[in-house]
Amino acid sequence: MQSWAASCPGFQHGGPSGWQNLATNTPCGSGKKDCNSIVGAAWMWYDQEETKWNYDSNQCNGGWATCGHFSNMMSPSVTSIACGWSECANGNYV
């Protein structure tokens, strides 16, 4: 994962049935200070998107794009979660 982040691939997302990169460009706010804890980025998505998850229907209110990070992290088929972080030449963080 670190080598992927170091390549500064730009903004990319997987799809509902594919892999999901959770942290691209400015993953946890507008400044480096907000990104000092890599684990914090995952918790940020959890906190923001979990509230949109409907546990009764087991679906996201508003569609996959509304809480895709949360659903991909919490999917029973997830076997591992990895982190990588890089500050790119354009000032974005991956």
**How far is CA 11 from its chain centroid?**
11
Give the span between the Cα atoms of 4 and 76, in whole angstroms: 24
From CA 89, how far away is CA 94, in angstroms rounded?
11
**CA-CA-CA-CA torsion sign (44, 45, 49, 53):** negative
pLDDT in tens, 9-48: 776 655 545 455 554 444 555 555 555 555 666 777 788 8
Indicate the pLDDT class of residue 92, thresholds 50, 70 and 90: confident
Between CA 6 and CA 67 the distance in angstroms is 26
Distance CA 5, CA 93 (A): 9
